[in-house]
Amino acid sequence: MDKNFFNALLAGDVSLLSRLLSDDFVLIDVMSGAENTKQAMLDGIGSREVRFESIRPSCVRVRSYERTAVVTGRTHMTISIGDAQFETKSRYTHVFVEQAGVLKFVSAQGTPIAGE
| Identity of residue 88 | T
- How many Å apart are CA 106 and CA 23, to the nearest integer? 8
pLDDT at 38: 97
Which residue spans within 38-81 are E strands per DSSP? 50-65, 68-81
Find the angle CA(23)-CA(27)-CA(28) to the nearest 5 degrees.
150
Q: How many domains does the chain have?
A: 1
- How many Å apart are CA 26 and CA 43, to the nearest integer? 14
- CATH code of the domain in which 82 resides: 3.10.450.50
Half-sphere exposure of 97 (CA within 13 A, CB side): 10
From 28, 43, 13, select the one nearest 108 (Cα to Cα).
28
pLDDT at 84: 94
pLDDT at 116: 65
pLDDT at 61: 98
Q: Domain range holding 106?
A: 2-112
**pTM of the complete model:** 0.92
pLDDT per residue rounded down to tens, the chain (116 residues):
999 999 999 999 999 999 999 999 999 988 888 999 999 999 999 999 999 999 999 999 999 999 999 999 999 999 999 999 999 999 999 999 999 999 999 999 999 998 76
